[in-house]
Amino acid sequence: MLGLPESIRVLLFDLDGVLTSTAVLHRRAWKAAFDTFLRGRDPDGFVPFSEDDYLDYVDGRPRIDGVRTFLRARGIDVDDATVEAIGTGKNDEFLACLARGEVESYPGSVRYLEAAEKAGLKIGVVTSSKNGEAVLDAADLTRFVAARVDGRDIVAAGMRGKPAPDGFLAGAKAFGVPPSEAAVFEDAIAGVEAGRAGDFGYVVGVDRVGGDQAESMRTAGADVVVTDLAELLDL
């Protein structure tokens, strides 16, 4: 009934873009932070941060990794203080969105969580965001989540960020199951790659973008790609 292999006992969800609409807020916050930096650095040659930039260099990665990956793609070399300043500016903008109550859960994702809970499967969240707890609370999803691995945990434990599988492996370990008995749900290419790199039993790509994203997810290792988690209930 959940569109998963019978061997799966644990579900590990990315948060932003999979369970909540906050991926849109993250993209907006990143654009504000990067455009401010880029315009100030070179007003005449300013090339704004784009949606493709978000998907290619930032989406799914820890905040500081995202800053460095994007700047490297633009051939920009800066010191650590500047990297931190850009990341802080992005987070300040995102927190302002939270304060304005702009976080929403996807109805199809809530339906899927309810079905998974009813089926007796264990539910965890693995997110690169350091605001994982606040987002889950704001979206009224904390009630479903038995274990959470977020950006704070990843930094504290010295884990590698996505596309490395460390966060998802920690999520499986929290439930005492091998990766083969856990499914990963991701909307970012880096996250799909992490699920495949960790040899998880099933990797679900959630395409909220359209275009070539679904094919890119399959290439990255997704076993199935849907546009909404509720689609899995009909498989």
CATH number, domain of 162, equals 3.40.50.1000
Please indicate, yes or no, whether residues 85 and 179 belong to a single structural domain of this protein: no
Q: How many structural domains comprise the chain?
A: 2
Phi, psi of 29 (to 5 degrees): -70, -40
For the chain, list residues with pLDDT below 50.
Answer: none
Q: What is the pLDDT of residue 206?
A: 97
Burial 69-98 (b: 16+ CB within 10 A, else e): ebbeeeeeeeeeeebebbbebbbebbeebb
Catalytic residues: 14, 16
Q: What is the pLDDT of residue 25?
A: 85
Q: What is the pLDDT of residue 131?
A: 87
Please enumerate in sequence order all residues whose Cβ is within 8 A of that of 3, keeping only pairs 6 or more positions apart, or say none: 224, 231, 232, 233, 234, 235
Please indicate, yes or no, whether residues 67 and 91 belong to a single structural domain of this protein: yes
Note the maximum CA span of the chain: 58
Phi, psi of 190 (to 5 degrees): -60, -35
Q: What is the pLDDT of residue 103?
A: 84
Average pLDDT over all residues of the chain = 94
Q: What is the CATH number of the domain that holds 63?
A: 1.10.150
Please indicate, yes or no, whether residues 111 and 137 belong to a single structural domain of this protein: yes
Which helix (H) or strand (E) element contains residue 186? strand 182-186
Please indicate, yes or no, whether residues 44 and 69 belong to a single structural domain of this protein: yes
Please indicate, yes or no, whether residues 44 and 142 belong to a single structural domain of this protein: no
203: helix, strand or coil: strand
Tell me the pTM. 0.80
C-beta separation of 218 from 49 below 8 A: no
Amino acid at 19: L
Q: Is residue 65 part of a domain?
A: yes
- The range of the structural domain enclosing residue 72 comes to 24-99
Q: What is the pLDDT of residue 120?
A: 97
- Name the one residue in this structure whose structure tokens are 């370990």: 173
Q: Is residue 5 part of a domain?
A: no
CA dihedral 185, 187, 193, 198 (to 10 degrees): -20
| Final residue before a domain boundary, out of 58, 76, 99 | 99
Residue in 181, 159, 153 with CA at minimum distance from that of residue 15: 153
Please indicate, yes or no, whether residues 113 and 222 belong to a single structural domain of this protein: yes
